Structure formats: C-alpha cells, structure tokens
C-alpha cells in the first residue's frame, strides 16, 4: 500500500500541474487574442476572472446563478469568466473563441433553469461571457420606445421607464432580476401579457454579435434572423447586445390583490372555476394562482393543507375590477378591502413579492429573491383539469417537502397573435401555463429523490395537459426532454424537445440556424441544431 501511495501522488501532482499549465496557457492565449482584437485597452483586472484567484472567480461565477444545483463542486467550471464593458469586447470574445477553439457560453441574468449559461456538460474547456456590465437603458418617451442592453435586469428597465413616465410600461417578466438578454429570447411573459402580448411580441429592433463577430441590427441580419431571436431560445443565433422595445400605455391607477383559499375553503371547486374563466375574463385582468402546501389549522388531519393564492393585476381602478369579478368570477369572493390601488411601477414590486412600502429604487439592485436548489418543468393546458385530477394532484404535492406550482392565465391578446408570428407558439386555445417546481435549500438533501418526485408528478399530469406535442416553455429549460450530447447535435433527437418548445416553428428555426450559423458556433445542450445535410 505504501509503494502504491508513493507512486500515485507524484503522478497525480504531475497531472494536476499539467492541467494548471494548460489552463494558464488557454487564459494567456485568450487575453493576448482579446488585446489584439479589441478597439480599446481591456481592464483585465476587473474584466477577467480565473480559478487562480478562487475568491473573486467564485464571487463572479455565483453572482447571478439561480439554480444552486449547478454550483456544486461536482458541476463543471469554466476555465475563466470574461465581463466585457464594451460591445467591441463581445465581438473580440467571439473572434477569439473561434480562433482558439475554446467553447463559449453567454450569460445575461443567470436565471436559466438548467444552468446552461454558466455550465457545460458537453464540452471542455469552456468560458463564460457575462454581460453584467452592459446594462444601459435609454428610454425615448416621444417615440414610445427604449433601447435596452442585454445585461440589464427587467426590473431596471421597468424603473427607468417609470422615471420618464407614469403612463408607460412594458409587458415582460414578474421576476425583476431577470436579465433581459435571455429573458426576451424565450418570449418573456408577465402580468400584462393578456393585454399586450409577450415582451418578445413588443421588440421592434435589436443588435447582436453573430458567429463571425459582426454587430448586426434588424436590417443587417434580415427578417428571418430577427424572427428567430424573439422567442427561439437563447444562445443559438448570436449574442444579444441590445433590444429596442415598444412601450405600452398603462393607466395612472392599477389594482392588485392576493386572495388565498385552502382545501377547507372550497379551494378545489374555486380553482376548477378559475380554469374556465381566467382566459376569457376582461383582458385588463391577469389572475395567476400560486399553489403549495402549508401548515393547516389545529385539528386538521396530517397537519398540512393545500393553499391556492390568487395573485392579480388589473389595469384599472378597484371599482371596475369588482364589477368584472362579480360578473365573471364571483366564486373567489373578492371584496374591496382585498384590493390595493397603486401605480404600475409599484404593482411590479407587489407582483415580484417585495414587502409593502418598498421603494422602487430596489429594482436598481438587480438582486433575486429566489435562489435555491431546484428542478422545474412546465405544461400548457387546453381544457380544464377535472376536480378528481386536482384531488390527485393535492395528494402528490403533500408528499413533497417544498413543492410549488404556478398557473398563469392566457387568452386576450395571446389568443389573437398567430402562432407563427414569432417562434413562441403557445397561443390560441391555451387556457393557462403551469410551472412545476421542487425546491430544497440544503445541498445534503437527496437531490435525486426530489427529481424523481417531480418526474412522477409530470407523468401523472400527462392526460390533463396539451398533447401531440406535450408543450413546454423554452425559458423553463428541462433537460429531461433531451439534450445535444456533442457539437454535432442530431436533428432527429433535437426535434423531440424542439417540437415541445416551438411546435411547427421548430423547422423554421432549424433552417435559420443552418443559414446564419452553419458551423454551429453558438451551441449548448438544447441549442437549435443544423439541418442534417450540413452536419
């Protein structure tokens, strides 16, 4: 045993040393290449982070990562992280990635559910281009538009709009720490979607860095390419630098409310009714349902119940809202005291879960209220789920430690925009979307048990959700649906998950990808593949 140890450790140290030298060589080559290809000197001390300085490297790596499963020691780590502060530096990063053969991942907000912007399970070495320093928001009220950089959070965008006008807004996400670069590439839904559609529906121009390192706007990239980046999923067609968004009108007074019902308060029957009315109700009203187990009142068997919290935004005053609710959804029992009239920007804080009285300036911090170990899935529903199926769902939710499911209503403008208008296809006929989550806070917990639970739940719900294909939301990436195992992604295998995310739009996305990125430079575990004859 002693002789084995004495022979093993020198070999181990040699291999470790060789690995570090190779890594250092990669870093050195890359910084030299960046310097040669950037128009301005790059401040490497604040832009380039390597494992050689583990403290600063880890801080940057973890800064915006949302799913802690992909920060565990076993998760692959980048060779380095680059934070460009100019557009030309993003161009240089693409050029040097191609020249040196180092795989690139791009991150704008870190909310991707499977960590694809900061982890690569399929290629090594890889590095991260983190757009966190590119966060300008230029609002033009006269034009009812804004140019927003990819590294800005949607909360920052909302704040900057409200700074200039109390009568303008933008229909995008509920979670304010979302980076707008990736957020809009998947669609970007939020509480004004029934009135104005998705964030991606309200994009009128963009600037991207393509696979050749060129900066292209809408005119230069062409309409097919512009179509693909608005809902076709992030990191397949280029690196988003800027979006030009169309602002939408908001009234001076909006109304919000949250009403919670548990199983002893007729929760199952009320939710069944919500399914029938939420997509057909006044399009100024968005009522989502947040469903989770909670401690029950004393004397209830098992000590836990299911709570259904109806969380809403109405683009108007409380009196008008109460008339709408009395006509269409009296079962909820909404009263005037449940309603809070406020401004649109304060409704953003309310829906995002900030405490009452929080100043809007908190949105400039870009911090997330949600950072856990989790696994997520999604579904779209086209017919009300029967009460008996809901009761089976409650049984399954009560068996998991910390599950969460959020149901978001469709209808309104979402039903009037054609499925092919942008790659996001979940339109007319969709009643609501479901997000399924299993969350845990302790890394020592059995992650596989949580993963198995949500997979079993997903199987159980199969008969009650959309089918042929069973649709899924691309911004809730789910690698259970399939992965590209190497850079030469199989079109046939990718179509299994591609059709769930994009339905009939998937084939057009593949055609665009093949045209604009024939070498498949922008790739990840679920990036759009090339047509078979190109591979």
Token pair recorded at residue 208: 């991207």
3-state secondary structure 319-342: HHHHHHHHHHCHHHCCCHHHCEEE
DSSP letters, 18-49, are: HHHHHHHHHHHHHHHHHHHH-SS---HHHHEE
- Which of 159, 373, 476, 501 is catalytic? The answer is 476
**272 part of the active site:** no
In three-state secondary structure terms, 234 is coil
The DSSP call for residue 469 is S
Rounded distance, CA 83 to CA 134, Å? Answer: 9
Rounded distance, CA 190 to CA 179, Å? Answer: 14
Rounded distance, CA 423 to CA 472, Å? Answer: 13
Q: Answer whether the bond into residue 307 is a cis peptide, omega within 30°.
A: no
Angle at 135 between CA 129 and CA 137, to 5 degrees: 150
In three-state secondary structure terms, 476 is coil
Sign of CA dihedral 324, 327, 329, 335: positive
Rounded distance, CA 384 to CA 198, Å? Answer: 23
503 touches 419 (CB < 8 A): yes
Rounded distance, CA 477 to CA 288, Å? Answer: 21
Active site residues: 476
């Amino acid at each position: 045993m002693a002789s084995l140890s004495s022979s093993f450790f020198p070999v181990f140290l040699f291999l470790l040393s060789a690995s570090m030298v190779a890594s250092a060589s990669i870093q050195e080559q890359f910084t030299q290449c960046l310097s040669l290809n950037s128009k301005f000197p790059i401040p490497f001390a604040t832009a380039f982070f390597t494992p050689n300085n583990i403290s600063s490297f880890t801080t940057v790596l973890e800064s915006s990562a949302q799913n802690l499963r992909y920060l565990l020691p076993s998760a692959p780590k980048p060779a380095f992280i680059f934070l460009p502060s100019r557009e030309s530096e993003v161009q240089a990063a693409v050029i040097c990635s191609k020249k040196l053969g180092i795989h690139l991942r791009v991150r704008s907000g870190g909310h991707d559910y499977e960590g694809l912007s900061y982890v690569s399970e399929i290629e090594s070495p890889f590095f991260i281009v983190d757009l966190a320093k590119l966060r300008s928001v230029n609002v033009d009220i006269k034009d009812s538009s804004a140019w927003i950089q990819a590294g800005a959070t949607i909360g920052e965008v909302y704040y900057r709009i409200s700074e200039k006008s109390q009568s303008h807004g933008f229909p995008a996400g509920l979670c304010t720490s979302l980076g707008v670069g990736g957020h809009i590439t998947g669609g970007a839904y939020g509480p004004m979607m029934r009135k104005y559609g998705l964030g991606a529906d309200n994009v009128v121009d963009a600037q991207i860095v393509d696979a050749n390192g060129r900066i292209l706007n809408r005119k230069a990239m062409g309409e097919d390419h512009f179509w693909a980046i608005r809902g076709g999923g992030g990191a397949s067609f280029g690196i988003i630098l800027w979006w030009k968004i169309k602002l939408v009108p908001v009234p001076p007074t909006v109304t919000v409310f949250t009403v919670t019902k548990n199983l002893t308060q007729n929760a199952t029957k009320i939710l069944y009714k919500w399914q029938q009315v939420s997509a057909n109700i006044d399009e100024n009203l968005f009522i989502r349902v947040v469903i989770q187990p909670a401690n029950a009142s004393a004397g209830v068997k098992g000590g836990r119940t299911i709570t259904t919290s109806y969380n809403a935004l109405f683009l108007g005053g409380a009196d008008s809202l109460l008339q709408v609710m009395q006509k269409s959804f009296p079962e909820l029992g909404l009263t005037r005291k449940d309603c809070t009239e406020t401004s649109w920007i304060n409704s953003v804080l309310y829906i995002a879960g900030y405490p009452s009285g929080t100043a809007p300036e908190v949105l400039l911090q870009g911090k997330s209220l949600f950072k856990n170990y989790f696994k997520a899935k999604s579904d779209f529903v086209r017919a009300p789920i029967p009460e008996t199926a809901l009761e089976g769902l409650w049984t399954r939710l009560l068996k998991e430690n910390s599950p969460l499911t959020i149901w978001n209503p469709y209808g309104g403008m979402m039903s009037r925009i054609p499925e092919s208008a942008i790659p996001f296809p979940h339109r007319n006929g969709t009643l609501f979307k479901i997000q399924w989550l299993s969350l845990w806070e302790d890394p020592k917990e059995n992650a596989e048990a949580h993963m198995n639970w949500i997979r079993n739940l997903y199987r159980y719900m199969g008969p009650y959700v959309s089918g042929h294909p069973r649709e899924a939301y691309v911004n809730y990436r789910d690698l259970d649906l399939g992965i590209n195992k190497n850079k030469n992604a199989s079109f046939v295998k990718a179509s299994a998950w591609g059709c769930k995310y994009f339905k009939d739009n998937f084939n057009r996305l593949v055609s665009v990808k093949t045209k604009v990125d024939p070498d498949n430079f922008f790739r990840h575990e679920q990036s759009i593949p090339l047509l078979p004859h190109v591979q």
